[in-house]
Amino acid sequence: MFFYILPFVFFLFYFLPFIFLLILFLIITLHSATIMSSFVLEDCWEYNFAPFFTIQPNLETRKVQLEAWNNLILSYCQNKLIYKLDLNSCSNDELFNNVNLKRCLNLESLQIVLDSMAEKGNIEWLNKDKTLCFVYWKKPSQWAQLIYEWAQKNGFVNTVCTLYEIVSGDDTQNEPFHGLDLNLLKKSISFLEKESKAVLITFDDNEGVKFL
């Protein structure tokens, strides 16, 4: 009986990681084709794949797994307009906790995922404890370009706009940066300052930017 089982055990031991790797590769390919306007978390194959919530020991498999998490997090945050993650609270959010599967990404695993995203420049840790980070589904330089194009288009060059007006004003309601996190806005403005296209200023207890 043992000799009949042995080939099956051999197959599982040596080929299961590669099968898992292939499945994750297919998941990433399909996910990259997801249309953002119809993004539904439960429709993502990886989210309904139980092993996805456990960091895989095989390095090649883990590499593909982390890439899949990278894509999922960026897509989810873009769809939900999330600019910042607080690990002390978000670990229980639906993104990292599939109640139907009864599987979740624990805090240690979540930090591994986000560390891999930080290496790609897709998140930025905001504290030494690595519990708070910006999520860059658009880079600060990209936000800066969009904001400056808006200023040019609407005749705000050589004009001062408050930060509140840029992210919450009536003039930006239809702009992609409407609702942008204020600290991320400041970081984006710093790119314009380096290009001599804007100056961040303080006046009357307000903060604003003068576009040049």
Tell me the pLDDT tens digit for each residue of 163-212: 988 888 888 888 888 999 999 999 999 999 999 998 988 877 788 889 99
Q: Report pLDDT digits (tens) over 98-114.
A: 888 888 898 889 999 99
Q: Report pLDDT digits (tens) over 128-146.
A: 989 899 999 999 999 999 9
With a cut of 70, say whether residue 15 has pLDDT above it. Answer: no
Residue of higher predicted confidence among 133 and 40: 133
The mean per-residue pLDDT over the stretch 148-162 comes to 89
With a cut of 50, say whether residue 76 has pLDDT above it. Answer: yes
Q: Which residues fall within 8 angstroms of residue 196, CB to CB, at 6 or more apart?
A: 212
pLDDT at 39: 57
Percent of all residues in the chain with a pLDDT value above 90, rounded to a whole number: 38
Judge if pTM exceeds 0.85.
Answer: no
Give the confidence band of 2 by pLDDT, cuts at 50, 70, 90.
very low
Residue of higher predicted confidence among 2 and 149: 149
pLDDT at 169: 85
Q: Which two tokens stand for residue 135?
A: 């999520």
pLDDT at 7: 53
- In the sheet with 198-203, reading across from the earlier edge strand, the strands are 160-162, 206-211, 198-203
Please state, in angstroms and rounded to a whole number, the distance separating the CA atoms of residues 190 and 43: 38
The mean per-residue pLDDT over the stretch 68-91 comes to 90
Long-range pairs for 141-148: beta carbons < 8 A, 24 or more residues apart: 141/188, 141/191, 143/177, 143/180, 143/184, 143/185, 143/188, 144/188, 144/189, 144/191, 144/192, 146/175, 146/176, 146/177, 147/177, 147/185, 147/188, 147/189, 147/192, 148/192, 148/197, 148/198, 148/211
pLDDT at 100: 85
Lowest mean pLDDT among 123-127, 156-160, 204-208: 204-208
Give the confidence band of 40 by pLDDT, cuts at 50, 70, 90.
low
